[in-house]
Amino acid sequence: MPEIQIRHAIRDAMREEMERDDRVFLVGEEVGYYNGAYKCSEGLLDLFGERRVIDAPIAETGFAGVGIGAAMCGLRPIVEFMTFNFSAVAFDQILNNAAKIHHMTNGQFSVPIVFRGPNAAAHMLGSTHSQAFEPFYAHVPGLIVIAVATAYDAKGLLKSAIRDPNPVVFLESELMYSVKGEVPEEEYLIPIGVADTKRAGDDVTVITWGQGVPVALKAAELAAAEGIECDVIDLRTLRPLDTEAVLESVRRTNRAVVLFHGWPYGGVGGEIIARIQEMAFDHLDAPVLRVCYEDVPMPYAENLEHLVLPTPERGLEAIREVAYRR
Amino acid sequence: MTTPTDPTSADPGNFDAYFQSREDTLRWYREMLRIRRFEELAARSYTRGKISGFLHLYIGQEAIAVATKEVLQPADRVVSAYRTHGFALALGSDPRACMAELYGKATGLVAGVGGSMHFFDRAHQLWGGYAIVGNHSPVAAGHAFASKYLKDGGVTLCFLGDGALAIGPTHEGWTLAGLWKLPIVYVVENNRYSMGTPLSRSVPVDDITLKAPGYGMISDRFRVTSVAETAERLGAIVKRAREESKPALVELITYRFRGHSMSDPGKYRGKEEVEEWRRWDPLERTYRALHEHHGLSEDELEALDAEVVDEMEAAVEFAEESPVPEPEARFRNITIES
């Protein structure tokens, strides 16, 4: 299998779906002539022209809303946010229009749209450009939320997202766009709502997604060196959540750590832990721990940022703690 | 009191060219009356505690919805804010379903999940029903984008109040409509008040169409005093939007005779002001045109009114007798199984 970068997996997914379906178009800042701020849309303008690869001015509410309105008419928009931090100014469009129109029109309309772009902290961008948005969107009934960590998952899930009849928030990672991974040459789709075990083990369950995945895998590697084998579950979809995959693992390991990029307060990590204690309480041998951002705005200074971020070392510490190997 | 857009004839009793056709005048009168009687009965039900939530009445502005129906072609779309009963009725929605929606019944226009502020009726070209001020402006631009993308020949008419002029999404929708030359007509229904705040305290200029050139839009601006004139001038703009894919901004100067919503007694404006606007009430003028110009007797007009009231009373009865949504209904239409 050829190895490609995640940004190219994303581009290939968009290209294939645009070739397959004329209703699919891409809109966002710098997606056309500039070939994408992170080059995820490289070459698409040349292939599909200005009708389908549309450079938008800096107006996230505007072009997110246009995407929603077009989706209601039967088109299949892909809306790129240069970073999900900028989705904050389009939040009302996603919260009140994309997520609710199907419901509030009693099914007269649907909104098949994908909002995609990089999410969570990259490196020294400061607090306004380092936020993880999954708790904001996973909170909302009516939205699908996906976070990907490999080229294979990015391509297969983005293709499914584009074909999905619902509004999908598709979270990528600036830090990981150049990470390479194997992607089959033949077409494939990955179903939404299905987690993937990225590493198998029977001692501790590590639940993770998106930018947390490589951190969790590294932590699991460090733990293995100490004789603790981790089951690393990449959720891939945060809403709907593959609760059964989490429970199956926790019932086996009796211990769990949730490792993710994002704040602890009111987050997806807390939701997962709530479900574990509700549905697998009797199986737990230790309190479930979170490894994530510290509960502070992201500082710019490299040393401070490093302290706030989840690291393999902090992951290892938590794994040891739930395994009572301190 | 004068406004910069007083009609050319300063006398509301001057039944100019816009009331010449007896047949059309009668039809439009009936359509406007349907909306007014519907809303009066809705208000009655509200004060009786049968309807809850927010109820924003269109009384005084009916001619706009009726004129809109006149200019619409099958591929066109109407998008409105939260003062939407008039559009639904004018476009052909079943008044029984509309009333049942206000009652939160299973037989409502959207099965009781939306209420007064969220009317959608796709079969009758009503694409909302948006209750967050201004956030339908880019969505409507998206409908027009789709029309251009699919070459379906449709024009989107997006209605908003003067209260939606300050908020950001209005500006972003207009910007993209202008930039991408979308077939859309934004219609500001300037009823002079953003809730209780007069125009002079919420918009920096009195003439809202001054904004149009900055968005690359053509524009028109006039006071709504008859269905015919409104349809004629709105129609001309819609035609250009359709034929030349030109976005447009139309300011319609109008007046609501009731408060912003049912909880608003309208104490911020004087009785004199309201009375002056009443002289120009398109419904009242049309009544007078039928009676004084076309010779319909008071009895004939009374009989017509009684027919309309019967239709709307039947809608109330239908709403009252309809079942509430079944408990399982709350799980419907959240996401679609893929």
Average pLDDT over residues A159-186: 98
Q: φ, ψ for residue B297 (rounded to 5)? A: -80, 160
Which residue in A325, A111, A155, A152 sits closest to A223, CA to CA?
Answer: A325
Of A56, A69, A74, the CB nearest to B140: A69
Beta strands in chain B (DSSP E): 77-80, 126-129, 156-161, 184-190, 193-194, 197-198, 218-223, 248-253
Give the three-state DSSP class for B78: strand
Q: Is B172 on the interface with A (CB under 8 A)?
A: yes
Roughly how many angstroms between the first and final C-alpha of chain B, as a whole number?
Answer: 60
In tens, the pLDDT along B71-101 reads 999 999 999 999 999 999 999 999 999 999 9
Exactly one of A8, A17, A29, A60 is catalytic; which is it?
A60
Suggest the residue from A108, A137, A164, A237 to mutate for an interface test with chain B (most B CBs closer than 10 A). Answer: A108
Pick the CATH number of A3-182 from 3.40.50.970, 3.40.50.1400, 3.30.479.10, 3.40.630.30: 3.40.50.970
Residue of B nearest to A72 (CA): B143
In tens, the pLDDT along A224-251 reads 999 999 999 999 999 999 999 999 999 9
| Dist CA B31 CA A261 (whole Å) | 58
Residue type, B26: L
DSSP code of B116? T
Which DSSP string corresponds to A96-149? IIITTHHHHTTTS-----EEEEE-S--SS--GGG----HHHHHTSTT-EEEE--
Let me know if A50 is a catalytic residue.
no
The least confident of A55-64, A216-225, B47-56 is: B47-56
Test B143 with A70 for CB contact under 8 angstroms. Answer: yes
Report domain extents, chain A.
3-182, 196-322
Let me know if A60 is a catalytic residue.
yes
Is B298 a residue whose pLDDT tops 50? yes
Suggest the residue from B135, B139, B157, B179 to mutate for an interface test with chain A (most A CBs closer than 10 A). Answer: B139
Report domain extents, chain B.
30-321
Return the CATH architecture of domain A196-322.
3-Layer(aba) Sandwich (3.40)
In tens, the pLDDT along A1-20 reads 899 999 999 999 999 999 99
Is B50 a residue whose pLDDT tops 90? yes
Is B264 a residue whose pLDDT tops 90? no
DSSP code of A166? S
Q: Distance of alpha carbon A293 from its chain centroid, rounded?
A: 16
**Cβ–Cβ < 8 Å for B124, B88:** yes
**Cβ–Cβ < 8 Å for B245, B181:** yes
Is A286 a residue whose pLDDT tops 60? yes
pLDDT of B5: 52
Q: Which helix (H) or strand (E) holds A77?
A: strand A76-80
**To the nearest whole angstrom, how far is the Cα of B72 from the nearest Cα of chain A?**
17
**Cβ–Cβ < 8 Å for B118, B131:** yes
Burial of A244 (0-12, 13-18, 19+ CB in 10 A): exposed
**To the nearest whole angstrom, how far is the Cα of B145 from the nearest Cα of chain A?**
6
Is B7 a residue whose pLDDT tops 70? no
DSSP code of A175? G
| Dist CA A291 CA A318 (whole Å) | 7
pLDDT of B268: 86
**Cβ–Cβ < 8 Å for B238, B185:** yes
pLDDT, chain B, mean: 93
pLDDT of B335: 97
Please report where in the chains the tokens 């391509």 appear, as a residue. A155
**Cβ–Cβ < 8 Å for A139, A83:** no
Instruction: Say which CATH class B30-321 falls into.
Output: alpha beta
Percent of chain B with pLDDT strictly greater than 90:
83
ipTM over 0.90: yes
